[in-house]
Amino acid sequence: MPEVTLVEAINLALGRAMADDPDVVVLGQDVGVNGGVFRATVGLQERFGPERVLDTPLAELLISGLCVGMAAQGLKPVGEIQFMGFIYPCLDQLVNHASRMRNRTQGRLTCPMVLRTPHGAGIRAPEHHSESTEAMLAHIPGLRVVMPSSPERAYGLLLAAIRDPDPVVFLEPTRLYRAAKGEVEDNGEALPLDIAFVLREGRDVTLISWGAMLKETMAAADKLADEGIAAEVIDLATLKPYDESTVLGSVAKTGRCVIVHEAAHTGGFGAEIAALIAEHGLSSLLAPVIRVTGYDTIIPMARLEQRYMPSVGRIVTAARKACQYN
Amino acid sequence: MPEVTLVEAINLALGRAMADDPDVVVLGQDVGVNGGVFRATVGLQERFGPERVLDTPLAELLISGLCVGMAAQGLKPVGEIQFMGFIYPCLDQLVNHASRMRNRTQGRLTCPMVLRTPHGAGIRAPEHHSESTEAMLAHIPGLRVVMPSSPERAYGLLLAAIRDPDPVVFLEPTRLYRAAKGEVEDNGEALPLDIAFVLREGRDVTLISWGAMLKETMAAADKLADEGIAAEVIDLATLKPYDESTVLGSVAKTGRCVIVHEAAHTGGFGAEIAALIAEHGLSSLLAPVIRVTGYDTIIPMARLEQRYMPSVGRIVTAARKACQYN
Amino acid sequence: MASKRANEELPVIARFEVRRRNYLAPDGSIDRPLPAFATDPKLLVELYRSMVLLRLFDRKAVALQRTGRLGTYAVSLGQEAVSVGIASAMREDDVLLPSYRDNGALLWRGVKLEEILLFWGGDERGNQFSGPVHDFPFCVPVGSQAPHAAGVAYALKLRKEPHVAVCMFGDGATSKGDVYEAMNFAGVHKLPLVFVATNNQWAISVPLRLQTGSETLAQKAIAAGFSGEQVDGSDVVAMRAAAEEAIAAARDGKGPHFIEAVTYRLGDHTTSDDALRYRSAEEVQAHWKEEPIARLRSYLVGQKMWTKADEEQLAAECHERIEAAVERYLTTPPRRAETMFDNLYADLPEAYAAQRRELAGEHDA
Amino acid sequence: MASKRANEELPVIARFEVRRRNYLAPDGSIDRPLPAFATDPKLLVELYRSMVLLRLFDRKAVALQRTGRLGTYAVSLGQEAVSVGIASAMREDDVLLPSYRDNGALLWRGVKLEEILLFWGGDERGNQFSGPVHDFPFCVPVGSQAPHAAGVAYALKLRKEPHVAVCMFGDGATSKGDVYEAMNFAGVHKLPLVFVATNNQWAISVPLRLQTGSETLAQKAIAAGFSGEQVDGSDVVAMRAAAEEAIAAARDGKGPHFIEAVTYRLGDHTTSDDALRYRSAEEVQAHWKEEPIARLRSYLVGQKMWTKADEEQLAAECHERIEAAVERYLTTPPRRAETMFDNLYADLPEAYAAQRRELAGEHDA
Ligand SMILES: Cc1ncc(C[n+]2csc(CCOP(=O)(O)OP(=O)(O)O)c2C)c(N)n1
Ligand SMILES: Cc1ncc(C[n+]2csc(CCOP(=O)(O)OP(=O)(O)O)c2C)c(N)n1
Ligand SMILES: [Mg+2]
Ligand SMILES: [Mg+2]
C-alpha cells in the first residue's frame, strides 16, 4: 500500500467519491485549476470538468447555501471553506437550513452535503487562519461534525461523510495535512461515522482528543509509558453525534480522564465530554477530569501560537496529576 | 418603586444610558418609530432622534459590523437582532472582529458594543424564532455574554453591558419579556457583570440556570422545599466569563448539582459548568452532575415547543435523583 | 446615477437602463396592448379566482389567529397579484423557493389550504405538503433561501434539465448579503433562475427609503450582471407576463432575471403587528385604489368575462373550500411529542434515541 | 444590461452609466489633460518615490520570508499606484480601512516599515502602529471590514466631523455579502465613505469572470444607489485624481462613491502561492507593459522632473531605509507568552487571570 499524506488521502477520497457517484460535486475557492490552497482538490477539475469541480466567487455564505440548494436537488455537494476562520458566515446556513431541512420538511427535502475546512493552528499562518471552533458546530442538532487524525481515517471518514444522507462538517487538521503520513488503500471503503477509535489501549488513564492534537496526545502516551503509566488514547473522530459509550467504557476501566483539545478552554467540546463523565461515569471516577486545552484568549499570531496550543508536556503533567490523585 | 415588566426594564435602561451618554446609539430593525417588535426601544427615537435611534436595513451581519465600526470610533452602539435565530450572520463579526479588536491591535482600537437579542422559546412564535444558542457565543474569547432573568437584573446588567469597554452579547429571555414583573428604580445603577446571583440559598442541592429557565428552576425549588429538599438556586447571569467560584462554592456546600438550560443538551453551556465541577469540585461531589436541558433536536414549532423545554417536573425529578444518590 | 459625479469628459464604458411594465391601469382600463395569454378568458378568470381565494383564506386565517387557533400569520392583502401571477407562469417541474408571505404561489402549485394552516399553526407537517415535492417550504429567515435557489438552479443546469428556479422575497430581503451573493453567482453562471422581489414598500416598519438608496430594486441586478425590470405588482397581467418571459428565457439558457414587483402591503405585517404605529391610515387608504383584485374584476366585467353571479358563486365556493380545509386543519390529530426526533437524521443516532424514548415516556432499562 | 430583455415598448424609468478615468498611457504619454495637482512636480515625485519604496520593500519582505524570517506576505507588485494614489488623497483625520495587500497606503500614512514586518512576522504589535491611531489594521477576512467602514462613516456623520472613511478591498471581495450590505447602507445614509476595489483580475486563482458576471465592478455601486467609476489603476495620477474628487465630495456631504481600480497582480498571490499553476507566464508578461512605476517614470523623465541620478539616489535611500527597518524588526525583543492575554479585555477577568499566570510559569497557590 502506498504511503500518502493526510491531504493526499483527502484528495483520493474526493476523487473516488466523484468517480463513483456523478452526483458528487466539489465547490469552493480555488478548488479548480489551482487544486485548492492545500492541494486537497488537485487534479479533480481535470478529471471531472469545471462543472463538477467549481471555483466559486469569494463568498463563504454562498458556498454553504449553494450546497443546501444542490443537496435538496439530490446532488451531493462537497463545499470547501478555505480556512476555518472564514466559516462563520456559513453558520446561518448550517444552523437554520442545512441541519434542519430534513426535520422541518418531515423528510420531504434532505441535505446530503459536506462542508470541508482546514482546522487549527500550528503552520505559522497569518491572522484568522488558525481557528478551532468545532464546539460551535457540535452543538447544532441535525449536523454531523467529523475530524480525522490520520490519512487512513481522513480517507475513510470523508468517504463516509460524502455518502451520508445528512449534512456533515468535515474538519481537517491543517497541521497534519503534510506531516501525517500513512498507508491508504484507495479501495472506496468508508469508515464508520459516530464511532470513536481507540488508538492505544491502557488501564491507567484515558486520554481523549481529536484532530491534530492526537499527535501530542500520542506522544504524551509514549512518555507516560516510560514512567509506567499505561494511557488509553481515544480519537473521538465524530464529535456530533459522539460515541458516548466508548468514552464511558474507557473511563469505567481507567477511572481517570484527560481531554485534550486545541480550542479555547471555556465551552470547548472537552466540556461536553467531561460533563458526560460527570453525569454517567461518576461512580467509576477516581480523579478529576482534566481538560488540557488552548487558553481562553484569541489564538495568537504565529510567534506565540506554539505557546497557545497544548504541548506534550502539559498533557503529560495533567495525566500524571490525574494518576496521582486519590 | 414602580413595577415594570422585563422588557420595560430594558427600555428604561436604554433610555437612561442614552440620556447619560451621547455616545450611546441604538440600531436595528424596527427600533425606531415602531419601538421594536417587542417594544424594547419604544419612545427612544422620539426622545433622541432618528440619528441616534436608527432603523437599519434588513441585514444582521451589517448591524453587527456597523457596531464594530462605530465602537472603534468611540461610540457605544447597542445593536438589536430581532430574534436570536437571525444572529448567526453576526458570528463572523463577533468572532473575527468584535471580540478581538482590542487584542489584535494591542489596545489601539477597542469595541465597546452591545448586541441585544431575544432568546429562547415559549411564546408560540413562528419557525426560527425560538433559538437558544448561547453556548456558541460563550465559547468566544474576548466576548461577554450576559442574560438577565428579572426586570431588576435586566435593568442593571444592561446598563453595565453598555458601560463596559468591551463587546457584550445581551440575551433577553423572550418568554419573560412581559411575564416577569418586578420593582425597578430607574436610578442609573448598574449591577456587576461576571458575577452569579444566588436567588435562593439551600444546603441540599445546587440548581444552576440562566435566563427564562430560572422561572421553572425557582418553581422546582419551591416544590423540592415541600419535599424537604433545600435547593440553592444560582442565576449565572454572565455566561462569559462566568463566576466559577460561586458555582464551586455552592457545590462544595451541597455536593449535588443540577444544571438547567433550554438549549440542546450536547455542547450546551451546561456542559461547561459540569466540566468545571468535574475538574475542580470533584472532591465535594456526592452525586452525578445532572443536566436538564432541551433535547438534541431542532426546537420544534409552536405545537411541541413546550415538550421540548425543560419542565418543572423534569427539574424536580433530576434534583430528587441527585439527592437520593449515594 | 453611476455617473452623476464623474467628469463629463471621461468616456462612458457601460450603460444600463431599467424599464417598467404594466398593462391594466388601477381602474381596470388598458394602458398598453395586452400580452398573448390575456386573450384567453379562462386563464384570466383563473388568476382572478386564485386571488380571491387567497384573500378570503387570509381573512379566515386571521380570524383563526385572533381566536387562538393559529399562530402568527402573514396576509397578502394588496399583493395577491404577485404570488399568483408568478406561480401561474411556472411549470410543475420548475422549483419554487418562497418567502413566508407567498401563500398565493403555494396554493397555485397545489399546496392544500390545511397544509398552510398547519404550518402557521406550528406544525412541521405543514412543510410536508402536497405541492411539487421539490419545492421549498416557506423561508422565514429573510432572504436566506436565495443561495438555495442558486444551488437548485446550478443543479438543474448541471443536469441539463429544462427547469427553472424561482426565488421570491421582499424589498427588505434585497438588503441582505446572501441575496446579493446568490444573484452574483447566478450572473456568473447564467443560471436558470428568476428572482422576484415583492416591493410592498415596507419591511415591517422600515420604509423603502431606509432600506436602500437605490432608485429601484430592479437595478440591483446590474451589480450581478443581468437584467432587471420593474413591474406593476398590483397588475396580475403584468406579473404573469413578466414571469412568463423571464422563465421562458431562463429555460432557454438565457440566464437569470430580476423582477421587482411594485405593490403595497395593505394589511399589517403579520398578526403580531399593528401597522398604524408607523404609517397613517390615509397612506394605506390611498393604496386601496391600486389593489389587484378590484382592478382585474373591473377589466373582466368590462370585457363581459365576469358577472355578479359569477362573483357570488365564487364567494360561496371559496367559503366552502376554506371551511372544509379549516375543519380538516382543526381535526388533524396532534403529533406525538417524540416525533420531534423524527427526520432529524436519516437514522437517529443512538446518542439521541435515548432522548426520544424519554420523551415518549419510555424509560431506559 | 438591465434592459437587454425587456420589451422595447416598455418605458425606461432609470438610466445609468459607468465612465472610465485615465491620464497617463502605459508609455508615459498623456491621454487626457492632467488634473490640477499633477502640475506640482513635488507631489508627482513623492508618489513616485512611495511606489518605488513599496516595490523594494516588498522585494525585501519576500526575501525575508524565503529565508524563514517572515511569515506569509502579500506583495503589491504591479498595483502600487492604487494604495499610494488613494492614501495620498486622504487627510490624516480620515480613516483608512485597508486589506492585507494595502501596505502602500499604510506606509504613506506613517506606519513604519518594521511595523508592517512585525505584523507579517506574526506579532500583534504590528497592528499597534504609528499610523493614525484611528486607522484600522490590515483586514484578513476578505471584505469583512466594509461594514466597519460604514459604522465609522456613520459615526463621523453623526458627530458632524468633516472626515471621510476609505475602505479598500480586492475584486474578490466584491462578491461578498458584507461588502454589499455596507455599500447599501452607505447609500441609504449618504455616508462620507469611499470604497476602493482593487481589481487586479485575480482572487488567488479565481479569475474575474468566475467572480462576477458584471461587465465592470464600478456598476456594483448602482445597486446601492450611488456613483461608481472605473479608473486605470496602474496610473497613479488617475488614482490620485479619482480619490481626491471622491473624498472631497464625501467630505462635502455628497455621499459615497465607488472606485474600481483596474490593474493587474504581477506577483504571486502571496508567498504561499505559485501563480504559474493557474495562469501563463505570457499573460503576466503582457501586463508588465502597463505597470505603474515605469509609466510614471517615463512621464517624469520626459518632463525633466526626474533623472537617472535621482533614480540612483532613491534606490540607495530606499535600500538604507529598508535595511534599517529590517534590522529593527529582527532585533525587536520577543513578546512574553503570557502577553497573549493582554488587551483581551480592558481588565482581565479572574477566570482567565489564572491561565495567564500558568502561562507565565507562575503557579497558583
Ligand atoms: C434574517 C431575518 N431578519 C429579521 C427577520 C424578522 N422579520 C420578519 S419579516 C421582516 C421584514 C421583511 O420585510 P420584506 O423583506 O420587505 O418582506 P415583507 O414582510 O414586506 O413581505 C423582518 C425584519 C427575519 N424573519 N429574518
Ligand atoms: C472571507 C475570506 N475568505 C477566504 C480568504 C482566503 N483568501 C485570502 S486572499 C483571497 C483572494 C482575495 O482576492 P481579492 O479580493 O481579489 O484580493 P487580492 O488578493 O487579489 O488583492 C482569498 C480567497 C480570506 N482571507 N477571507
Ligand atoms: Mg416588504
Ligand atoms: Mg484580486
Regarding an ipTM greater than 0.95, the answer is yes
Q: What is the DSSP letter of B283?
A: G
- For A271, B133, D134, the CA distances from B273, given in Å and listed in that order, are 8, 16, 39
A119 noted as active-site residue: no
**Neighbour-count burial for D109-138, b at 16+ CB within 10 Å, e otherwise:** bebbbbbbbbbbbbbbbbbbbebbebbbbb
| Per-residue cell: D41 | 512636480
Q: Say yes or no: C312 and C340 in one domain.
A: no
Which of A276, A323, A314 lies closest to B275 in space, CA to CA?
A276
Same domain membership, residue D270 and residue D354:
no
Ligand 2 binding pocket includes D173 (Cβ within 6 Å):
yes
The average confidence (pLDDT) of chain D is 96
Same domain, D270 and D299: yes
| D9 is a domain residue | no
End-to-end alpha carbon distance in chain C: 72
Same domain, C99 and C248: yes
| pLDDT above 60: residue C365 | no
- Whether residues D56 and D118 share a domain: the answer is yes
Number of domains in chain C: 2
Query: Does D364 lie in the same domain as D216?
Result: no
- Cβ-based contacts of A138 with chain B (< 8 Å): 266-267
pLDDT recorded at residue B1: 77
List A97, A119, A129, A261, catalytic entry: A129
Beta-strand relationship, A168-173 and A181-183: unpaired
Cell 531605509, located at residue = D321
In a domain, C27, yes or no: no
How far is it, in rounded angstroms, from Cα A83 to Cα A117? 6
CATH code (residue D42): 3.40.50.970
Distance from CA of B126 to the nearest CA of C (A): 7
Residue B309 to residue A46: CA distance in whole angstroms: 51
pLDDT band with cut points at 50, 70 and 90 for residue D1? very low
The answer to whether C178 contacts chain A (CB < 8 Å) is yes
For residue A86, the SS3 value is helix
Do A276 and A245 meet the contact criterion of CB atoms below 8 Å apart? no
For residue A59, report the phi and psi dihedrals to the nearest 5 degrees: -160, 100
Q: What is the pLDDT of residue C7?
A: 74
Residue A305 has pLDDT above 60, yes or no: yes
What length does chain D have?
365
Annotated active-site residue C189? The verdict is no
Domain ranges of chain A: 3-183, 197-324
Residue B244 sits at the chain D interface (C-beta within 8 Å): yes
Tell me whether domains A3-183 and A197-324 share a fold: yes
The number of the ligand 1 atom at minimal distance from the alpha carbon of C140 is 25
With a cut of 80, say whether residue D362 has pLDDT above it: no
- Residues in D closer than 8 angstroms to C226, CB to CB, are 213
CB under 8 Å to A79, separation ≥6 — which residues?
A27, A28, A63, A64, A66, A67, A113, A114, A115, A116
Coarse DSSP helix, strand, coil percentages of chain B, rounded to the nearest 5 percent: 40, 20, 40
Are D263 and D356 found together in one domain? no
Q: What is the mean pLDDT of residues A158-186?
A: 98
**Out of D11, D16, D176, whose CB is closest to C19?**
D11
- What is the residue-averaged pLDDT of chain C? 96
| Same domain? D218 vs D273 | yes
pLDDT confidence band for D9 (50 / 70 / 90): confident
CA-based nearest residue to B116, from B167, B74, B153, B183: B167
Whether residue A35 lies within 8 A of chain D, CB to CB, comes out as yes
Residue length of chain A: 326
Q: How far is A181 from chain B (nearest CA, A)?
A: 32
Q: Are residues C347 and C232 in the same domain?
A: no
**Interchain contact, D185 vs B57, CB within 8 Å:** yes
Classify residue D24 by its DSSP letter. Answer: B
* Residue D241 shares a structural domain with residue D356: no
CB contact under 8 Å between B68 and D148, yes or no, is yes
**Which pLDDT score, from 0 to 100, does residue D363 have?**
60
Distance CA C194, CA C196 (A): 6
Say what percent of chain D tops pLDDT 90.
96
**In whole angstroms, what is the distance from residue D19 CA to residue D34 CA?**
17
Given an 8 Å threshold on Cβ–Cβ distance, is D151 in contact with B68? yes
Average the pLDDT over C272-301 and give the result: 97
The average pLDDT across B158-171 equals 98
Q: What angle do CA B30, B31, B34 make, to 5 degrees?
A: 65
Question: How sure is the predictor about C364, in pLDDT bands with cuts at 50, 70 and 90?
Answer: low
Distance CA D130, CA D112 (A): 7
Q: For the residues A193-202, what does the mean pLDDT come to?
A: 98
Max intra-chain CA distance, chain A: 62
* Residue D99 CA, ligand 2 centroid: distance in Å: 9
The answer to the question of residue C32 being in a domain is: no
Cα B203 off chain centre by: 26
Q: Do D18 and C32 touch (CB under 8 A)?
A: no
What single string gives the DSSP state of each residue in A239-257? EES--HHHHHHHHHHHS-E
Residues C226 and C346 both lie in one domain: no
Q: Is the pLDDT of residue C4 over 50?
A: no
User: Would you say C234 and C264 are in contact if contact means Cβ atoms under 8 Å apart?
Assistant: yes
Interface of B with D in 140-179 (CB under 8 A): 141-142, 144, 164-166
Residues in chain C with CB shorter than 8 Å from the CB of B304 are: 122, 335, 337, 339-340
Q: What is the separation of C-alpha C270 from the centre of its chain, rounded to a whole number of angstroms?
A: 15
Q: What is the pLDDT of residues D249-267, one digit of tens each?
A: 999 999 999 999 999 999 9
Q: Give dist(CA B218, CA B212) in Å, integer.
A: 10
Q: How many CB atoms lie within 10 A of CB C110?
A: 14
Q: How far apart are the first and last CA of chain A?
A: 47
- Residues D324-342 have pLDDT tens digits of 999 999 999 999 999 999 9
The alpha helices in C164-307, defined as continuous H runs, are 177-189, 208-211, 220-224, 236-251, 281-288, 292-302
Q: Which residues contact A50 (CB under 8 A, 6 or more apart)?
A: A32
Q: Which residue minimizes the CA distance to atom 8 of ligand 1?
A: C142
Listed by number, the residues of chain B in 188-227 with a beta carbon closer than 8 Å to a beta carbon of chain A are none
Banded pLDDT at C8 (limits 50, 70, 90): confident
Model pLDDT for residues D41-80, shown as the tens digit of each residue? 999 999 999 999 999 999 999 999 999 999 999 999 999 9
Rounded alpha-carbon distances, angstroms, from residue A309 to A128, A132, C121, C271: 15, 11, 50, 52
DSSP character at residue D192: S
Residue with the nearest Cα to atom 13 of ligand 1? C203
Return residues 86-125 of A near B (CB < 8 Å). Answer: 88-89, 91-92, 95-96, 99-100, 103-104
With 0-12 CB in 10 A as exposed, 13-18 as middle and 19+ as buried, what is A187? exposed
pLDDT tens-place string over residues B106-130: 999 999 999 999 999 999 999 999 9
Q: Is the pLDDT of residue D4 over 50?
A: no
Contacts of D146 (CB under 8 A, 6+ apart): B65, D97, D167, D169, D173, D176, D178, D179, D181, D182, D183, D195
> Which residues of B are annotated as catalytic?
129
Mean pLDDT, residues C63-72: 98
Binding pocket residue ranges, ligand 1, CB within 6 Å: B 29, 58, 60, 82, 86; C 101, 140-142, 169-173, 198, 200, 202-204, 265, 269
Task: Note whether A114 and A162 are within 8 A (CB).
Answer: yes
Q: Answer whether B58 sits within 8 Å of C277, measured CB to CB.
A: no
Ligand 1 atom closest to the Cα of residue B29 is 23
- Concatenating the DSSP letter of every residue in A161-202 gives HHHSSS-EEEEEEGGGTTT-EEE---S-PPPPSS--EEEE--
Atom of ligand 1 nearest to the CA of C142: 26
The pTM (predicted TM-score) of the whole model is: 0.98
Tell me, yes or no, whether C7 lies in a domain. Answer: no
If asked whether residues D189 and D310 sit together in one domain, one would say yes
Which residue lies with its CA nearest to atom 7 of ligand 2?
D142
- Tell me the three cell numbers of residue B65: 459590523
Asked if A77 and A67 touch (Cβ cutoff 8 Å), the reply is yes
User: Are D206 and A30 in contact (CB < 8 Å)?
Assistant: yes
Instruction: Single out the catalytic residue among C21, C55, C240, C269.
Output: C269
- The strand pairing partners of A55, in sequence order, are A28
Q: Is the pLDDT of residue D365 over 50?
A: no
Mean predicted confidence (pLDDT) in D223-233 = 98
Q: Which fold has domain A197-324?
A: Rossmann fold (3.40.50)
pLDDT digits (tens, 9 = 90+) for C88-146: 999 999 999 999 999 999 999 999 999 999 999 999 999 999 999 999 999 999 999 99
* Tens digits of residue pLDDT in D149-198: 999 999 999 999 999 999 999 999 999 999 999 999 999 999 999 999 99
Instruction: Tell me, yes or no, whether D255 lies in a domain.
Output: yes
| Span D265-309, pLDDT tens digits | 999 999 999 999 999 999 999 999 999 999 999 999 999 999 999
pLDDT in tens, A134-157: 999 999 999 999 999 999 999 999
Indicate whether D191 belongs to any domain. yes
- pLDDT at position C1, please? 39
Q: Which pLDDT score, from 0 to 100, does residue D364 have?
A: 54
| Cβ within 8 Å of residue C281, ≥6 positions away | none
| Closest C-alpha to D41, from D296, D321, D317, D233 | D296
CA distance B109 to B118: 29
- Whether B69 contacts chain A with CB within 8 A: no
Determine the pLDDT at residue D154: 98
Length of chain B in terms of residues written: 326
Using most ligand atoms within 8 A of CB, pick from D202, D204, D266 the residue to mutate for ligand 2: D204
Question: What confidence tens digit (pLDDT) does each residue in D106-115 have?
Answer: 999 999 999 9
Query: What is the extent of the structural domain holding D365?
Result: 336-365
Tell me, yes or no, if C211 comes closer than 8 A to chain B by beta carbon.
Answer: yes
Q: What is the mean pLDDT of residues B94-106?
A: 98
Classify burial at C312, counting beta carbons within 10 Å of its beta carbon; exposed 0-12, middle 13-18, buried 19 or more.
exposed
**A3-183 has which fold?**
Rossmann fold (3.40.50)
pLDDT at C363: 60
Cβ A104–B127 below 8 Å, yes or no? yes
CA distance B177 to B161: 18
What are the cell numbers at B51?
Answer: 440619528
Contacts of D10 in chain C (CB under 8 A): 19-21, 32, 229
Mean pLDDT score across all residues of chain A:
98
CA-based nearest distance B87→chain C, Å: 10
